[in-house]
């Protein structure tokens, strides 16, 4: 049995982390028999989620999970793509994971109203007498991470401009296609869906969210993926 360690559904999303959602979607796309399990963060090999356990193996990164599925289960997620298209798909994945992710993270953790509605609730199981201190330490660590990465060093207007550039690139490229690269789904769609669904989450208000909501084709793309992989019964 394959076990995917996750944070669990939150904020109306399949998981609070888009990387977890990406990994689960890859498992769904591969047709694997798996189960999700929460509560494994303390044992996460790299101190982050998701990670996958199968037999004695631990695969501790969403992209490494993809590689594992491709190699171990002989899954070719990108079978329909040309070499050039695979390169484009990979570039969009990295744009979302290595750039847009930090804008989204900043919108949730650095904007007080969003933090109070979302991430702050993660700490509700911590005893009240130390909860405030833990929240302060974790939030300070997160903000330091955003400064080291660089996004938190920018002015608000510049962050918004960068977010819009990412969303424009994605929306313009998808255009009226069914999936990122055309009529056939590919590995990058797991990433695209995870991040677009996350930014469209109505719980978190930001200029990034508002701009994403102005892209009808991104909303339609997300709806198609919802119906395919997370249908509402």
Q: Using 50, 70 and 90 to split pLDDT, how confident is the model at 57?
A: confident
* 207-212, Cβ contacts within 8 angstroms, sequence gap of 24 or more: 207/160, 207/163, 208/103, 208/104, 208/107, 208/160, 208/163, 208/167, 209/107, 211/160, 211/163, 211/164, 211/167, 212/167
Lowest-confidence segment of 18-27, 39-48, 77-86, 99-108 by average pLDDT: 39-48
The domain limits of the chain are: 2-72, 83-229
Does residue 183 sit in helix, strand or coil? Answer: coil
Stretch 191-209: mean pLDDT: 97
pLDDT for the residue 233: 52
Is pTM beyond 0.85? Reply is yes
Q: What is the CATH number of domain 83-229?
A: 1.20.1050.10
Superfamily (CATH) of domain 2-72:
Glutaredoxin (3.40.30.10)
Q: What is the pLDDT of residue 1?
A: 84
């Amino acid at each position: 049995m394959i076990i995917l360690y996750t944070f669990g559904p939150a904020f109306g999303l399949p998981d609070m982390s888009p990387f977890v959602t990406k990994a689960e979607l890859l498992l769904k796309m591969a047709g694997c028999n798996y189960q999700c399990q929460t509560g494994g963060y303390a044992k996460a090999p790299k101190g982050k989620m998701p990670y996958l356990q199968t037999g004695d193996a631990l695969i501790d990164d969403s992209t490494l999970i993809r590689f594992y599925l491709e190699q171990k289960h002989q899954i070719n997620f990108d079978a329909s793509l040309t070499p050039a298209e695979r390169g484009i798909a990979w570039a969009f994945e990295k744009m979302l994971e290595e750039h847009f992710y930090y804008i989204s993270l900043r919108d949730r953790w650095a904007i007080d109203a969003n933090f109070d509605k979302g991430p702050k609730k993660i700490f509700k199981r911590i005893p009240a007498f130390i909860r405030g201190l833990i929240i302060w330490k974790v939030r300070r660590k997160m903000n330091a991470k955003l400064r080291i990465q660089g996004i938190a060093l920018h002015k608000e207007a510049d962050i918004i401009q960068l977010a819009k550039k990412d969303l424009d690139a994605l929306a313009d490229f998808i255009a009226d296609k069914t999936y990122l690269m055309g009529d056939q789904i590919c590995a990058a769609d797991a990433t695209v869906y995870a991040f677009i669904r996350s930014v469209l989450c109505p719980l978190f208000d930001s200029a990034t969210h508002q701009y994403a909501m102005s892209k009808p084709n991104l909303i339609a793309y997300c709806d198609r993926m919802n119906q395919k992989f997370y249908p509402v019964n």
